[in-house]
Amino acid sequence: MDAVMADKEDILKEIKDRFKESYDASDENYMEAIHDLEFLGGDQWPGDLKADRQSDGRPCLVINKLPAFANQVIGDIRQNEPQIKVKPVDSKSDPETAEIMTGLIRNIEVQSNAEIAYDTAAESSVRCGMGAFRIGTEYSDDDSFEQDIRFFRIKNPFTVYWDPAAQAWDKSDARYCFVTEKIPKEDFQRLYPNASLIPFEGGKDRNTQWGDDKSIRVAEYFKKELEKKKLFLIRNTLNGETQIREEGPYNTNWEIVKEREVESQKIIWYKASQHEILEGPQDWPGKYIPIVMVYGDELNIENKTVYSGMVRNAKDPQRLYNYSRSSGAEIVSLAPKAPYLVTQKQIGNYQKIWDQAHKRNFPYLPYDADPDNPAAIPRRAEPVSVNTGIQAEIMTADQEIHDTTGLQRASLGKQSNEKSGKAIIARQREGDVATFTYYDNLGRAVKHAGKILVDLIPKIYDTARVVRILNPDDSEQMVQVNKPFRDEKTGVEKIFDLTMGKYDVVVSIGPSYTTQREESAENMMAFIQAVPQAGPLIADLFAKNLDWPGAAEIEKRLKFLLPPALQADGEGGGPPPPPPSPDPMQLIEMRKKAAETQGKELDNQEKFTKMRMQPGGGENANQEG
């Protein structure tokens, strides 16, 4: 018991020391990111300047233009979904199993709403420079031991703290990672009835205080450990088959060819409060820490990494815009109405009315003629106008917001100085290039998530079971894995063994399958209009890409109108089959007709020969003629 307590004290000290290390390293980045979010939310005036202006009754307008810029990029990201594809990389893996794994990953994404996790992380990277999501496991059913892999979003990226020594972009080389969490006290007491109600200290999640009267903060701790093991290359002495195993030969028919010592890594998980270990240690089945980061712009300054989003560089132009607009509003809207130029004798008898002339709209203003100047009448002074310098500042600040975000007016769908369609497209393309970092970084993050999944699948889906996969067209299919079965179509015995072989991951970012179908249908329509004779040959493909009720039935019927060679090519994907054999009765009839024709030819030839042999016929007759 004493040894166990000592181990817990040691790991608790390690947790505290490492958390302080990662907290201190992240402090400046997280504070800047929080300020970016506050600025994006409308807190755009410095506190002291705002207080001074408000005390004088001067306006502090916030014309917040930045959300429109951020939402433009976020909307484009949502329209272009990252798609994970698995590829085989060694002799024990095969393309069909890779397709099964790809379909299984699609199903995992759909079942756990992975697109929400992707979108939340990407939105955060655009707004403040960093976002995160995580991957976990859960039991398939309450009465089952089978597990499934799931995605989970992390709404607040400032609850994630990484090993500051990690150099890899995806943090795959990190030694540890923390994820802090706020738990209501009632739930905390129910989950850990014997635990102390003292929160885990530290963190930049400032929406509430740490350890207030209603909640307790705890921290998840993922720790990477290296373990040494032996690897054996063994060979079967009977047939020459070779295998790589972590154990030596299991019978006399196998011999060791090579062996070496290797280092492998495993992940251990804990959950802790400030003063005790609440859960763990537990072994995580994968070799990667299942936390995935999505970053915005990354800048390294003397080995110090700075992360930022779209808002960071646009803050000063936005402040200048607010200040200039407030000054213009102050001059035009809040300044008194232009005063009247009058003499005391003109308004002396109507002083009360004239004292309110700048506040109220009277139907008429009475006055007396001034004996000293009877022709003079009261008149207004020249109205106050906005300074041209302020107007220039407003226009300059507005353009600088476009420049610092990289999105010009054409990228936001606004009319600008581009006159032709090509110029508009070119300007939009400039905006796409300027903001491509956010799309590309999401793709990198999803690729790392794909690696985590490919590492987890053989360990979670390690028994014979039937799994659901999703095809690229969103159609579903139930597939037997890790157990031999006979293919109903070919009669060949197959096995999709998810535990064998090595696989890699590629990610493509583009429109969803539905959008691609719609675009294909539009392009096919334009192609058919340009080449009408191609219409009958691709009519079934055109129907296949239509989003109509009954489009699949239309596609099937149109296929019957295709030439036989195209029908066979469409079904099997290979070369056209040889022509079908003729009907036996037709063959007999054809041979009979051929024999009759040949007989007639022989009769004619015989008659011609006899004619030539008769006197007066043949060659002599020809000569005489």
Do 452 and 588 fall into the same domain? no
Boundary-marking domain end, from 474, 507, 540? 507
Judge whether residue 423 has pLDDT over 80. Answer: no
Question: In terms of pLDDT, which residue wins out, 191 or 601?
Answer: 191
Asked, for residue 219, whether it belongs to a domain, the answer is: no
572 torsion bin: left (phi>0), alpha (psi -120 to 50), beta (else): alpha
Average pLDDT over residues 463-469: 90
Do 489 and 526 fall into the same domain? no
**Lowest-confidence segment of 217-221, 237-241, 569-573 by average pLDDT:** 569-573
The Cα angle at residue 50 between residues 44 and 56, in degrees rounded to 5: 150
Report the distance separating Cα 322 and Cα 60, nearest Å: 8
Do 517 and 485 fall into the same domain? no
Judge whether residue 186 has pLDDT over 60. Answer: yes
Instruction: Encode pLDDT of 294-331 as tens digits.
Output: 999 999 998 899 999 999 999 999 999 999 999 888 87
Q: How far is CA 93 from CA 88, 99, 497, 543, in A?
A: 5, 11, 9, 36
Boundary-marking domain end, from 507, 529, 550? 507
What's residue 168's pLDDT? Answer: 93
Judge whether residue 338 has pLDDT over 80. Answer: no
Asked, for residue 36, whether it belongs to a domain, the answer is: no
What's residue 620's pLDDT? Answer: 45
Structural domain count of the chain:
3
- According to DSSP, the β-strands at 493-494 and 340-341 are unpaired
What's residue 57's pLDDT? Answer: 84
Report the distance separating Cα 155 and Cα 170, nearest Å: 19
Q: How far is CA 1 from CA 268, 279, 312, 357, 569, in A?
A: 21, 17, 53, 90, 73
Do 83 and 145 fall into the same domain? yes
3-state per-residue secondary structure call for 208-228: CCCCCCCEEEEEEEEEEEEEE
Domain that holds residue 150: 65-161+293-310+435-507
Asked, for residue 31, whether it belongs to a domain, the answer is: no
Asked, for residue 439, whether it belongs to a domain, the answer is: yes
Average pLDDT over residues 274-280: 86
Judge whether residue 173 has pLDDT over 80. Answer: yes
Report the distance separating Cα 328 and Cα 338, nearest Å: 16
Do 495 and 518 fall into the same domain? no
User: What is the chain's Cα-based Rg?
Assistant: 40
DSSP assignment string, 316-333: HHHHHHHHHHHHHHHHHT
**Lowest-confidence segment of 287-296, 489-498, 551-560 by average pLDDT:** 551-560
Report the distance separating Cα 44 and Cα 38, nearest Å: 8
Instruction: Encode pLDDT of 559-597 as tens digits.
Output: 777 777 776 655 544 444 444 455 555 555 666 666 566
Q: How many beta carbons lie within 10 A of that of residue 374, not counting itself?
A: 8
Confidence of residue 623 (pLDDT cuts 50, 70, 90): very low
Do 503 and 517 fall into the same domain? no
Confidence of residue 6 (pLDDT cuts 50, 70, 90): low
Boundary-marking domain end, from 460, 480, 507? 507
Judge whether residue 491 has pLDDT over 60. Answer: yes
Judge whether residue 25 has pLDDT over 60. Answer: yes
Asked, for residue 71, whether it belongs to a domain, the answer is: yes
Torsion sign across C-alpha atoms 143, 146, 150, 154: positive
Instruction: Encode pLDDT of 514-544 as tens digits.
Output: 556 666 777 778 877 887 877 777 777 777 7
Q: How many beta carbons lie within 10 A of that of residue 512, not counting itself?
A: 15
Do 520 and 469 fall into the same domain? no
Do 491 and 519 fall into the same domain? no
Query: Residue 539 corresponds to which tokens in the numbers above?
Result: 């009519």
Asked, for residue 333, whether it belongs to a domain, the answer is: no
Asked, for residue 129, whether it belongs to a domain, the answer is: yes
Report the distance separating Cα 291 and Cα 172, nearest Å: 10
Do 300 and 443 fall into the same domain? yes
Instruction: Encode pLDDT of 101-156 as tens digits.
Output: 999 999 999 999 999 999 999 999 999 999 999 999 998 877 778 889 999 999 99
Asked, for residue 566, whether it belongs to a domain, the answer is: yes
What's residue 117's pLDDT? Answer: 96
What's residue 37's pLDDT? Answer: 96
Determine what percent of the chain is predicted with pLDDT higher than 70. 79
Confidence of residue 264 (pLDDT cuts 50, 70, 90): confident
Instruction: Give me the residues paired with residue 341 across strands.
Output: 379
Do 156 and 72 fall into the same domain? yes
Determine what percent of the chain is predicted with pLDDT higher than 90. 37
SS3 612: helix
DSSP assignment string, 35-61: HHHHHHTT--S-HHHHHHHHHTT----
Helices 315-332 and 388-405: angle between axes, nearest 10 degrees: 160
Do 460 and 477 fall into the same domain? yes
Report the distance separating Cα 170 and Cα 133, nearest Å: 12
Do 74 and 91 fall into the same domain? yes
Q: For all residues of the chain together, what is the average pLDDT?
A: 81
Instruction: Encode pLDDT of 363-418 as tens digits.
Output: 888 998 988 888 889 888 776 666 788 888 999 999 999 889 888 766 665 555 55
In contact, 453 and 107? CB cutoff 8 Å:
no
